[in-house]
Amino acid sequence: MIIAIDGPAASGKGTIARKLAERLGLPHLDTGLLYRATARALIDHGRGLGDRDAAVSAARGLALADFNEAALRSREMSEAASIVAAIPEVRAALVELQRRFARRPEGALLDGRDIGTAICPDADCKIFVTASAETRATRRALELRSRGEKVDYGAVLEDIRRRDERDSSRAAAPLRAAGDAMVLDTTKLDVEAAFEAALAIVEAATRRRARAAL
Ligand code: CDP
Protein backbone atom coordinates (compact mmCIF):
# COMPACT_ATOMS: atom_id res chain seq x y z
CA MET A 1 0.00 0.00 0.00
CA ILE A 2 1.28 3.46 -0.90
CA ILE A 3 0.16 6.36 1.31
CA ALA A 4 0.70 9.97 0.14
CA ILE A 5 0.50 12.77 2.69
CA ASP A 6 0.78 16.34 1.49
CA GLY A 7 0.17 19.75 2.94
CA PRO A 8 1.62 23.17 3.73
CA ALA A 9 4.30 24.02 6.29
CA ALA A 10 3.65 22.96 9.88
CA SER A 11 0.21 21.59 9.07
CA GLY A 12 0.98 18.50 11.14
CA LYS A 13 1.68 16.24 8.17
CA GLY A 14 5.13 15.22 9.40
CA THR A 15 3.85 14.14 12.81
CA ILE A 16 0.88 12.33 11.28
CA ALA A 17 3.15 10.64 8.74
CA ARG A 18 5.60 9.42 11.38
CA LYS A 19 2.88 8.09 13.63
CA LEU A 20 1.00 6.38 10.80
CA ALA A 21 4.16 4.77 9.44
CA GLU A 22 4.96 3.44 12.89
CA ARG A 23 1.45 2.09 13.46
CA LEU A 24 1.24 0.48 10.03
CA GLY A 25 4.84 -0.74 9.91
CA LEU A 26 5.53 1.11 6.65
CA PRO A 27 8.84 2.70 5.59
CA HIS A 28 8.50 6.48 5.67
CA LEU A 29 10.18 9.11 3.49
CA ASP A 30 9.94 12.75 4.56
CA THR A 31 10.52 14.27 1.12
CA GLY A 32 10.98 17.78 2.52
CA LEU A 33 14.35 16.58 3.77
CA LEU A 34 15.46 16.04 0.16
CA TYR A 35 14.93 19.71 -0.66
CA ARG A 36 16.38 20.80 2.66
CA ALA A 37 19.51 18.67 2.11
CA THR A 38 19.88 19.98 -1.45
CA ALA A 39 19.78 23.56 -0.15
CA ARG A 40 22.22 22.70 2.65
CA ALA A 41 24.70 21.25 0.15
CA LEU A 42 24.56 24.44 -1.93
CA ILE A 43 25.15 26.64 1.10
CA ASP A 44 28.01 24.41 2.31
CA HIS A 45 29.69 24.70 -1.10
CA GLY A 46 29.27 28.46 -1.22
CA ARG A 47 26.85 28.33 -4.16
CA GLY A 48 23.76 30.52 -4.59
CA LEU A 49 20.33 28.95 -4.05
CA GLY A 50 19.42 29.90 -7.62
CA ASP A 51 22.44 28.13 -9.14
CA ARG A 52 20.60 25.53 -11.23
CA ASP A 53 23.52 23.36 -12.26
CA ALA A 54 24.95 23.19 -8.76
CA ALA A 55 21.48 22.52 -7.34
CA VAL A 56 20.85 19.65 -9.75
CA SER A 57 24.18 18.00 -8.97
CA ALA A 58 23.55 18.47 -5.24
CA ALA A 59 20.12 16.82 -5.64
CA ARG A 60 21.59 13.95 -7.67
CA GLY A 61 24.31 13.42 -5.08
CA LEU A 62 21.99 13.02 -2.09
CA ALA A 63 22.32 9.92 0.03
CA LEU A 64 19.29 9.30 2.24
CA ALA A 65 21.36 7.92 5.09
CA ASP A 66 23.45 11.09 5.40
CA PHE A 67 20.74 13.47 6.58
CA ASN A 68 21.43 15.35 9.76
CA GLU A 69 17.80 16.10 10.50
CA ALA A 70 18.33 18.50 13.37
CA ALA A 71 20.52 20.78 11.25
CA LEU A 72 18.09 20.63 8.33
CA ARG A 73 15.01 21.71 10.27
CA SER A 74 16.09 25.26 11.10
CA ARG A 75 14.08 28.28 10.02
CA GLU A 76 16.82 29.26 7.57
CA MET A 77 16.78 25.84 5.90
CA SER A 78 12.97 25.85 5.52
CA GLU A 79 13.19 29.04 3.48
CA ALA A 80 16.21 27.82 1.49
CA ALA A 81 14.50 24.49 0.73
CA SER A 82 11.46 26.21 -0.72
CA ILE A 83 13.70 28.31 -3.01
CA VAL A 84 15.54 25.30 -4.49
CA ALA A 85 12.28 23.29 -4.60
CA ALA A 86 10.90 25.78 -7.14
CA ILE A 87 13.64 24.84 -9.66
CA PRO A 88 12.00 22.33 -12.06
CA GLU A 89 15.32 20.55 -12.81
CA VAL A 90 15.87 19.95 -9.09
CA ARG A 91 12.41 18.41 -8.78
CA ALA A 92 13.04 16.26 -11.85
CA ALA A 93 16.34 15.05 -10.39
CA LEU A 94 14.54 13.82 -7.26
CA VAL A 95 11.56 12.06 -8.87
CA GLU A 96 13.11 8.65 -9.42
CA LEU A 97 14.57 8.37 -5.92
CA GLN A 98 11.11 9.05 -4.46
CA ARG A 99 9.32 6.66 -6.81
CA ARG A 100 11.86 3.93 -6.09
CA PHE A 101 11.15 4.38 -2.39
CA ALA A 102 7.40 4.19 -3.05
CA ARG A 103 7.77 0.93 -5.01
CA ARG A 104 9.15 -1.01 -2.03
CA PRO A 105 7.43 -4.39 -1.89
CA GLU A 106 6.18 -3.83 1.65
CA GLY A 107 4.56 -0.53 0.66
CA ALA A 108 5.57 2.99 1.71
CA LEU A 109 4.38 6.25 3.17
CA LEU A 110 5.73 9.50 1.71
CA ASP A 111 5.00 13.01 2.89
CA GLY A 112 5.61 16.31 1.11
CA ARG A 113 3.90 18.77 -1.22
CA ASP A 114 3.41 16.85 -4.48
CA ILE A 115 3.26 13.18 -3.53
CA GLY A 116 -0.42 12.70 -4.39
CA THR A 117 -0.30 14.95 -7.45
CA ALA A 118 3.06 14.23 -9.11
CA ILE A 119 5.22 11.58 -7.45
CA CYS A 120 2.59 8.90 -6.71
CA PRO A 121 -0.60 9.88 -8.54
CA ASP A 122 -1.81 6.26 -8.17
CA ALA A 123 -1.27 6.10 -4.39
CA ASP A 124 -3.84 3.93 -2.59
CA CYS A 125 -4.54 6.61 0.00
CA LYS A 126 -4.01 10.37 -0.25
CA ILE A 127 -4.40 12.78 2.63
CA PHE A 128 -4.00 16.55 2.33
CA VAL A 129 -3.28 17.92 5.79
CA THR A 130 -3.98 21.58 6.37
CA ALA A 131 -4.56 24.13 9.17
CA SER A 132 -4.91 27.91 9.46
CA ALA A 133 -1.70 29.90 8.94
CA GLU A 134 -1.94 31.24 12.51
CA THR A 135 -2.18 27.77 14.04
CA ARG A 136 0.69 26.54 11.90
CA ALA A 137 2.85 29.51 12.93
CA THR A 138 2.14 28.84 16.62
CA ARG A 139 3.16 25.19 16.20
CA ARG A 140 6.28 25.99 14.22
CA ALA A 141 7.41 28.72 16.66
CA LEU A 142 7.08 26.24 19.55
CA GLU A 143 8.97 23.59 17.60
CA LEU A 144 11.83 25.94 16.67
CA ARG A 145 12.08 27.21 20.26
CA SER A 146 12.24 23.66 21.54
CA ARG A 147 15.23 23.18 19.21
CA GLY A 148 16.91 26.21 20.73
CA GLU A 149 16.18 28.81 18.00
CA LYS A 150 15.15 32.27 19.19
CA VAL A 151 12.13 33.13 17.05
CA ASP A 152 9.11 35.36 17.42
CA TYR A 153 5.62 34.37 16.35
CA GLY A 154 5.17 37.25 13.90
CA ALA A 155 8.32 36.39 11.97
CA VAL A 156 7.38 32.71 11.78
CA LEU A 157 3.88 33.59 10.55
CA GLU A 158 5.45 35.74 7.85
CA ASP A 159 7.80 32.88 6.86
CA ILE A 160 4.90 30.49 6.59
CA ARG A 161 2.81 32.85 4.46
CA ARG A 162 5.76 33.53 2.14
CA ARG A 163 6.52 29.83 1.78
CA ASP A 164 2.81 28.95 1.19
CA GLU A 165 2.77 31.54 -1.57
CA ARG A 166 6.01 30.32 -3.19
CA ASP A 167 5.10 26.63 -2.90
CA SER A 168 1.60 27.15 -4.32
CA SER A 169 2.47 29.48 -7.16
CA ARG A 170 5.53 27.74 -8.64
CA ALA A 171 5.10 26.22 -12.08
CA ALA A 172 6.59 22.81 -11.26
CA ALA A 173 4.42 20.56 -9.09
CA PRO A 174 2.82 23.34 -7.02
CA LEU A 175 1.38 22.63 -3.60
CA ARG A 176 -2.26 21.63 -3.99
CA ALA A 177 -4.57 18.83 -2.92
CA ALA A 178 -4.97 16.02 -5.45
CA GLY A 179 -8.54 15.73 -6.71
CA ASP A 180 -8.89 12.36 -4.97
CA ALA A 181 -7.21 13.35 -1.67
CA MET A 182 -9.10 13.49 1.62
CA VAL A 183 -8.59 16.92 3.20
CA LEU A 184 -7.81 16.82 6.92
CA ASP A 185 -7.98 20.21 8.66
CA THR A 186 -6.04 19.97 11.93
CA THR A 187 -6.64 23.57 13.08
CA LYS A 188 -8.76 22.43 16.03
CA LEU A 189 -7.19 18.99 16.52
CA ASP A 190 -4.44 17.98 18.91
CA VAL A 191 -1.79 15.46 17.83
CA GLU A 192 -3.77 12.43 18.98
CA ALA A 193 -7.04 13.54 17.39
CA ALA A 194 -5.28 14.37 14.10
CA PHE A 195 -3.61 10.96 14.10
CA GLU A 196 -6.92 9.17 14.79
CA ALA A 197 -8.61 11.08 11.95
CA ALA A 198 -5.77 10.17 9.56
CA LEU A 199 -5.88 6.54 10.65
CA ALA A 200 -9.62 6.42 9.94
CA ILE A 201 -8.94 7.71 6.40
CA VAL A 202 -6.28 5.03 5.85
CA GLU A 203 -8.56 2.30 7.19
CA ALA A 204 -11.35 3.36 4.83
CA ALA A 205 -8.87 3.25 1.93
CA THR A 206 -7.71 -0.22 3.02
CA ARG A 207 -11.32 -1.48 3.01
CA ARG A 208 -11.87 0.07 -0.45
CA ARG A 209 -8.75 -1.64 -1.71
CA ALA A 210 -9.82 -5.01 -0.29
CA ARG A 211 -13.27 -4.71 -1.91
CA ALA A 212 -11.71 -3.79 -5.25
CA ALA A 213 -9.49 -6.88 -5.09
CA LEU A 214 -12.50 -9.24 -4.71
O1 CDP B 1 7.96 20.80 7.71
P2 CDP B 1 7.60 21.79 6.64
O3 CDP B 1 6.28 21.50 6.04
O4 CDP B 1 7.78 23.20 7.08
O5 CDP B 1 8.69 21.65 5.51
P6 CDP B 1 9.12 20.42 4.59
O7 CDP B 1 7.98 19.48 4.37
O8 CDP B 1 10.38 19.86 5.13
O9 CDP B 1 9.41 21.16 3.19
C10 CDP B 1 10.35 22.21 3.08
C11 CDP B 1 10.18 22.83 1.70
O12 CDP B 1 10.53 21.87 0.71
C13 CDP B 1 8.74 23.25 1.35
O14 CDP B 1 8.44 24.58 1.71
C15 CDP B 1 8.67 23.03 -0.15
O16 CDP B 1 9.08 24.16 -0.86
C17 CDP B 1 9.67 21.94 -0.41
N18 CDP B 1 9.04 20.63 -0.68
C19 CDP B 1 8.55 20.40 -1.94
O20 CDP B 1 8.56 21.28 -2.78
N21 CDP B 1 8.05 19.18 -2.28
C22 CDP B 1 8.01 18.20 -1.37
N23 CDP B 1 7.52 17.00 -1.76
C24 CDP B 1 8.47 18.41 -0.07
C25 CDP B 1 8.98 19.67 0.28
Tens-place pLDDT, residues 94-150: 999 999 999 999 999 999 999 999 999 999 999 999 999 999 999 999 999 999 999
Model pTM?
A: 0.94
- Name the residue ranges covered by the structural domains of the chain: 2-213
Residues having CB closer than 6 A to ligand 1 are 9-10, 14, 31-32, 35-36, 78, 81-82, 85, 112-114, 163, 167
> Where are the extended beta strands (E) located within 78-211?
108-112, 125-130, 182-185
Query: How high does pLDDT run on average in the chain?
Result: 95
H/E stretch holding 21: helix 13-24
CATH of 2-213 given 3.40.50.300, 1.10.260.40, 3.40.640.10, 3.40.50.620? 3.40.50.300
- String of b and e for 106-145 (b: at least 16 CB within 10 Å)? ebbbbbbbbbbbbbbeebbbbbbbbbebebbbbbbbebbe
Binning pLDDT at 50, 70 and 90, where does residue 213 land? Answer: confident
Residues 184 and 113: beta-carbon distance below 8 Å: no
